Structure 1
Amino acid sequence: MRELVVVVEHPPEANPVADLLAEHPDARLRSSACHVTERSLWRVDHASGPEAALDRLEDMAGARYFTDCLVRDGCDGDWETTVLDRSAGSLVLYSYWERTDDCDSIPHLARERFGDGVVLEETWRGRTQRWRVLAPDGPVGGFVEAVRDIADADVRFERVSDPEREADPGLPPEQADALAAAVEAGYYETPREVEAYELADRLGVPGSTLAYRLRRAEAWLAKRYVE
């Protein structure tokens, strides 16, 4: 299996859901299920946050509620969205999407490149949409290029790894993950493509924690190299 973490940053006025979540920093959206075939996609989303944000999101549960399409203009995908549950601070939505030639999504592209057996998980806060993709073994280059070619947004890949790979006994998993994320994000490029505090925010850990893990991993690598 391969694990990929894909982050999409939606620009203003590109996606109404992103615009709404950007207006309400305390609001969250996550998928509890996401399934895809060649021409269709269906999912269940859980939203939480201020009542005003949930009210507007519920009102979007029609033509303007779309979370998957990567195409900014010209998408004519046929959406059907239903409110499954609404309670204090929580909203559950079911969506079904019929794909067209002018629309594409990360789930569809992942299935095309990796075949059946893809597992998808998505979280969304503000304009940042983060996908975690578990896919059968195979080259990821075509998938990466396809997403970046189609998306009318800033796309970055935070992680590409093999979750079944056994960690080196000399390097704890959290340090190995931090090091892999830093390399993928361009932290070790010259000039750096990302600062440590930015990487820590992406990974959802304190800056001091990330700095410690990277220092320990770098020390381990340096000693291994000298030996």
Structure 2
Amino acid sequence: MRELVFALEYEPGCNRVADTLADHPDARIRSLSLHATAERLWRVDHAAGTPEALDAIEDAFLTIDYYADCLATEDCGATQTTRVLDRTDDTLVLYSDWVRTPTCASVPHIARTHFGDGVLFETRHEGRHYTWRLIHSGQGDVSAFFDELRTAVGECAQMEMLRTADTTETGARSDDNAIGLSPEQEAALRAAVEHGYYESPREVDVGELAEHLDVPRSTLTYRLRRAEEHLAKQHVSSEQMTAEPSISL
């Protein structure tokens, strides 16, 4: 099995959900389940954020002209239904059912064309940064997949490859690497430390650091947030393990 991880960085006005998340930078959406056939797509998404952010996300999903994952640049004539499955003060769970037309395009359907049935999908959406993780059999042409995806995306988003590897290699790398960050996250974190981003007061802001690294500001912000989240969880998990009483046999 092969793992393929990449990201789309949407331009303003190209994706209603991305625009909404850009207006609420502390909110995020991740997929709980995503399935696609040749004609349809079903998915369940979990959104987290403030009540105001969740209101905006819910409105974006329920009133959008056509399904947010469709890569068509105008109304493709597809039919979609979105329902709220659960809502609390800081979480929102949405179910979407999308019936596509011949003019529709999406990441899952392009993936099925090049990798066949049985592809697993995982997504994470923060700001304009939309990360996709695909697990596939290893058969198929990755270059052809990206060529078709790049054509479908057009000028609406920038594409960035984050990782491709055997799933067994990915697991081994996680075990061997105590930090557990992707190369992109580690590079962003290292640059932030070296340039004084974490000093008080800061010696560089995120915009200046992004310019130095020649990456979009939102991409760098995403990488730093993911790196910080991972390290914080790792630290808390380590503290909890240390605090657990030993058991005498």
Could you say which TM-score interval applies, normalised by the shorter chain?
0.7 to 0.9
Q: Distance in 2 between matches of 1:192 and 1:25?
A: 21
**Distance verdict in 2 for CA 1:166–1:146, change over 3 Å:** closer
CA-atom RMSD, angstroms? 3.3
Larger deviation, residues 106-115 vs 53-62: 53-62
Matching residue of 1:164? 168
Structure 1 unmatched ranges of 5 or more: 183-190, 210-227
Match of 2:138, SS state, is: coil
Tell whether the 8 Å contact from 1:3 to 1:160 is kept in structure 2 after alignment.
yes
1:72-151, aligned counterparts within 5 Å?
Answer: 72-138=73-139, 139-151=141-153
Structure holding more helix per residue: 2
**Distance verdict in 2 for CA 1:89–1:117, change over 3 Å:** same
Q: Distance in 2 between matches of 1:68 and 1:140?
A: 20
AA matched with 2:52: A
Query: How many residues end up aligned between the 2 structures?
Result: 198
Tell whether the 8 Å contact from 1:74 to 1:102 is kept in structure 2 after alignment.
no
Instruction: Please give the TM-score of this superposition, normalised by the length of structure 1.
Output: 0.75
Q: Distance in 2 between matches of 1:34 and 1:136?
A: 17
Q: Distance in 2 between matches of 1:30 and 1:36?
A: 17
Tell whether the 8 Å contact from 1:11 to 1:127 is kept in structure 2 after alignment.
yes
Tell whether the 8 Å contact from 1:22 to 1:127 is kept in structure 2 after alignment.
yes
Q: Distance in 1 between matches of 2:93 and 2:172?
A: 41
Q: Distance in 2 between matches of 1:52 and 1:44?
A: 21
AA matched with 1:44: V
Q: Percent identity?
A: 38
Report runs of 4+ in structure 1 exceeding 6 Å deviation. 166-169, 174-177, 191-194
The offset of 1:110, in angstroms, is 1.0
Q: Distance in 2 between matches of 1:167 and 1:105?
A: 28
Structure 2 unmatched ranges of 5 or more: 187-212, 232-249
